[in-house]
Amino acid sequence: MTIVVQPVPEGTTATAALRRPGAAEKIAQTTAPVTLVPGDGRRTLIGLDRQELEAEMAALGEKPFRAKQLWHWMYFRGARDFDDMTNVPKAFRAKLAEHFVIGRPEITTDQLSSDGTAKWLLRFADGREVETVHIPDDGRGALCVSSQVGCTLTCKFCHTGTQTWVRNLSAAEITAQMLVARDRLGEWPTPTDANRLISNIVLMGMGEPLYNFDAVAKAMRIVMDGEGVALSRRRITLSTSGVVPMMQRCGEELGVNLAVSLHAVTDDVRDVLVPINRKYPIAELMEACRTYPAASNARRITFEYVMLKGVNDSLADARELVRLLDGIPAKVNLIPFNPWPGSTFECSSWTQIRNFATYLNDQGYSSPVRTPRGRDILAACGQLKSASERARKSRETVAAPEPEVMDAAEREAMAAALALH
C-alpha cells in the first residue's frame, strides 16, 4: 500500500484530490493559517455557544444580531478571517480582528491512505497534538474526532491506550477538527444532507469522550445547530468504553447514538482488555445500555467487538454475547484487530470471524464485519496515536521497542481467565 505524507504548509496537500469539485480554493487552501489560539492576547471565537458569542458582542458594544452574522460566517460558510465576511462593516471587522481570531489548529501532517482514508495530525497552541480521520464512502463519509490528548484509559489492544493521558481538549479544539476537515475537503458552505463528504461524526478518536463530556457536549451542540454545520444528532455517534455514570446524562442532554466498546463477554477477560471494567463491570454496563434514553429499535446501540485470536472469538463467546444483549436494541460491529507497533495480539482468522458473525446474525443481531480502513497510515480503529508522541518515545528509547502491552501480572491474569473461559 502507498502512504502519502505531506507536511503543511507546502503547496498541494495529500487530501486535495478528495475535495468537492469546484470548491473555493480561498476556503480550502491551508497555507499559513491563523492558529486557533495565537498567544498574542486575542481569543478564539470558535467553540463559543450562541449565548457566549452574544455576550462577547455586547462587551464590544454591538447588537445581538452581530453574533448571528458571525455564527453564519464561521459555521455555515467556513470563514477563517474576518475580512472574508463581506456583509459585515469594515470597522466592525477591524474591531473583531483586534480582539479575536477564528483560526484553526496547525496541520503538521496530512496523510492519505490507498483506500481514500485521510488522517490529519493537528497541533494546538501548547504544542500538544491529536489525530483526526476522515473515512469516505460513496459520496459521503465519517469524521473520527478526538476528545483528549492521549487517553484516560489503557485498553490493551488500542494504540492510543499506550499514550499517557495529557489533557482534555476544549470545546474549541473539538469543534475545530470538524472545521479543519471541511477546509481540507472544500465542503463550504454547508451542503445538503444528500451531498455531504462529511455526513457523520464518530467520537471514536483519541480519548474517552465521557471523561470530557462538558466540552464534547458543547462542541456537538455547535455542530448540530441548524444554522451552521447542521449535522443531525442522528448522524453523531459517541463511543465509550463504559463510563456508566455518564451514559444516562449523555442520552438525556445530547441524544446522540451510542457505541459501546465491549470486546469481551466475561469480566475476567474484559478486566484485562478494558481495565475500566474493574470499576464498572459488564452487568452494570449492560443495564446502563438498557436504560439509555436515546436508544430504540430505530436507533440501536452499537457494540464494538474487536476480534482477537484465541481471546474472545469462540462460538461460546458469541453465545454469551447474545445472552448479554437480551432486552437491548443492539447491533454488533465486529472489528478485525488492526495491528500496531508493539502490539502482542493477533487478529482472528477470517473463518472464525465469519462463523462468529453468522451466529449473531442467525440470532437476529445485525453483525457486520468492519472493513479495515486506513491501516497503511495507522488510521484504522485502535491505531491512533499522535506522531509527536511516537517520535518522542523513539528519541527517548533510542529506537527501542515500545513497552509491552501487558505486564507479567496482566499476562498471568489473561491466561487464567482464558483457562476458565
Annotated catalytic residue, options 131, 187, 304, 389: 131
How many contiguous H segments (helices) and E segments (strands) does the chain have? 13, 14
Sign of CA dihedral 50, 51, 56, 62: positive
Give me the pLDDT at residue 192, please: 79
Would you say 207 is a known binding-site residue? yes
Q: Is 281 exposed, middle or buried (0-12, 13-18, 19+ CB in 10 A)?
A: middle
> What average pLDDT does the structure give for the chain?
85
Mean of pLDDT values over 301-325: 97
Q: Is 250 assigned a catalytic role?
A: no
pLDDT at 383 over 70: no
| Active-site residue, from 144, 250, 289, 381 | 381
For the chain, how long is the longest CA-to-CA vector? 73
Check the annotation: does 195 bind a ligand: no
Q: Average pLDDT in the 235-261 region? A: 97
pLDDT at res. 397:
41
Cα 76 versus chain centre, distance: 21
Does residue 351 carry a pLDDT above 90?
A: yes
Residues linked to residue 148 through DSSP beta bridges, in sequence order: 168
User: What is the reported pLDDT for 10?
Assistant: 38
pLDDT at 257 over 80: yes
Tens of pLDDT, residue by residue over 185-209, are 999 999 977 789 999 999 998 899 9
Is 250 annotated as ligand-binding? Answer: no
**Residues near 17 by beta carbon (within 8 Å), at least 6 away in sequence:** 112
User: Which pTM value belongs to this model?
Assistant: 0.85
C-alpha distances in Å from residue 265, one per residue of 114, 236, 291: 35, 26, 19
The set of cell numbers assigned to 398 is 533510542
Q: Is 347 annotated as ligand-binding?
A: no
Q: Annotation-wise, does 208 bind a ligand?
A: yes
Is 289 annotated to bind a ligand? Reply is no
Closest by alpha carbon to 400, among 338, 339, 340, 341? 341
Average of pLDDT values for 145-156?
88
Report the alpha-carbon distance of residue 228 to residue 189 in Å, rounded. 9
Query: What's the confidence (pLDDT) of residue 152?
Result: 83
The reported pLDDT for the residue numbered 115 is 87
Res 9 pLDDT > 50: no
Where residue 401 falls among pLDDT bands split at 50, 70, 90?
A: very low
Assess whether pLDDT exceeds 50 at residue 23.
Answer: no
**Catalytic residue at 381?**
yes
Alpha helices in 158-208 (DSSP H): 171-185
Q: Any known ligand binding at 155?
A: yes
Q: Would you identify the CATH topology of the domain 108-420?
A: TIM Barrel (3.20.20)
- Band of pLDDT at residue 17, cut at 50, 70 and 90: low
Q: Is the pLDDT assigned to residue 367 strictly greater than 70?
A: yes
- Residue 264 and residue 227 in contact, taking contact as beta carbons nearer than 8 Å: no
- Asked whether the predicted pLDDT for residue 372 surpasses 70, the reply is no
Question: Is residue 263 annotated as involved in ligand binding?
Answer: yes
Question: In the predicted model, what is the mean pLDDT of residues 148-172?
Answer: 84
**Residue 151, annotated ligand binder?**
yes
| Structural domain spans, the chain | 34-101, 108-420
Strand locations in 104-182 (E): 106-112, 118-123, 129-137, 140-144, 148-149, 167-168
Tens digit of each residue's pLDDT (9 = 90 or more) over 203-247? 998 899 999 999 999 999 999 999 999 999 999 999 999 999 999
Please give the CATH number for the structural domain made up of 34-101: 1.10.150.530
